[in-house]
Amino acid sequence: MEWWFIRHGCTEWNRSRRYQGHSDLELLSGEGAALAQLPAKLADIQFAKVYCSDLIRCRETLTRVRPDLAMVAYYDARIRELNFGEWEGKTYEELKDCETYREWIDDPASHVPPGGESWEQFESRVADFYSELQKNAADLFLNNENAALPASVLIVTHGGVISLLAGKLAGGRDFHDPDFKIAPGEILRLQSMPSGETVLLPRT
C-alpha cells in the first residue's frame, strides 16, 4: 500500500498564523493557496480510495488538484483538525499571556481549549478513522489487480491529523516527529512493505 497525504492549501488564517481548527475557511485564490505544483505531481496516479476532511479548505484543495476525484471521495468529519474552541481565529501572540493557553501548550493532553476539544477526543476520532482505514486497506490489498504496483490511497486533511495518522502507520511514532510535519499544499507519502514495516518515501 502507498499512502498519499496532502495538507490542504493556504487560507487567510494560515497566512496570518491563526488557529483554524473547525472554522470553515476557504482557500486563498490562485498562487496564494500554494497548490500550483500538485496537479502535475498527482496527474498520473491511480488512487484506489480517496478520503477528504469535510471542511471547505480540504474540499477545495481536492477539487483544485484532482477535480476528477471530487465526486468519488469519501468526506469524513473524523479527519477534521482539532477543535480549538474560543482560540480559533487567534494567534500565539494574542494568546501567549493567557494562563489556560500556556498550560495547554505545555501539556495538551491534560488541558482543553475553552469550548473546544480535548486531546483524548481528537485522538479517539482519528483512531476510529484509522481502524476503518486499515480494514479497507486490507480489502484493497487482496483485490489489487496489479500486484506489481502498490494500491494507492489519497487522504486530503489537516496538519495535526496527518501527524497522528502517519505516526500510527509508521508503527506508533510520536505525533511531534518532524518527519511528519508538512506545510499547506505539501505531500507526505508512506509505503507499507510486505514485511509489515511502513517507510517514509522521499518528498517530491
Q: Note the pLDDT tens digit of each residue in 43-73.
A: 999 999 999 999 999 999 999 999 999 999 9
What pLDDT does residue 151 have? 87
Buried/exposed 35-63: b ≥16 CB within 10 Å, e otherwise: beebeeebeeeebbbbbbbebebbbbbbb
Whether the per-residue pLDDT at 141 is higher than 90: the answer is no
Task: Please check whether residue 47 lies inside any domain of the structure.
Answer: yes
Cα–Cα nearest to 185, from 22, 36, 12, 29: 36
62: which 3 cell numbers? 481536492
Task: Please check whether residue 112 lies inside any domain of the structure.
Answer: no
Q: pLDDT band at 138, cuts 50/70/90?
A: confident
What pLDDT does residue 150 have? 73
Cβ-proximal residues to 94 (8 Å cutoff; 6+ apart), any chain: none
90: which 3 cell numbers? 487567534
- Average predicted confidence (pLDDT) for the chain: 93
| CATH number of the structural domain spanning residue 75 | 3.40.50.1240
| Residue with more model confidence, 144 or 58 | 58
Segment holding 198, helix H or strand E: strand 198-200
Strand residues in 54-186 grouped as ranges (E): 74-76, 152-157
Range of the domain at 66: 2-82+118-200
User: How many domains are there within the chain?
Assistant: 1
Task: Please check whether residue 64 lies inside any domain of the structure.
Answer: yes
| Amino acid identity for residue 145 in this structure | E
Whether the per-residue pLDDT at 193 is higher than 90: the answer is no
pTM here?
0.94
Task: Please check whether residue 110 lies inside any domain of the structure.
Answer: no
Task: Please check whether residue 130 lies inside any domain of the structure.
Answer: yes
Whether the per-residue pLDDT at 147 is higher than 60: the answer is no
Q: pLDDT band at 97, cuts 50/70/90?
A: very high
Whether the per-residue pLDDT at 84 is higher than 90: the answer is yes
Task: Please check whether residue 185 lies inside any domain of the structure.
Answer: yes
Task: Please check whether residue 89 lies inside any domain of the structure.
Answer: no
Cα–Cα nearest to 2, from 149, 132, 130: 149
Cα→Cα distances 192→65, 80, 200, Å: 25, 24, 9
Task: Please check whether residue 188 lies inside any domain of the structure.
Answer: yes
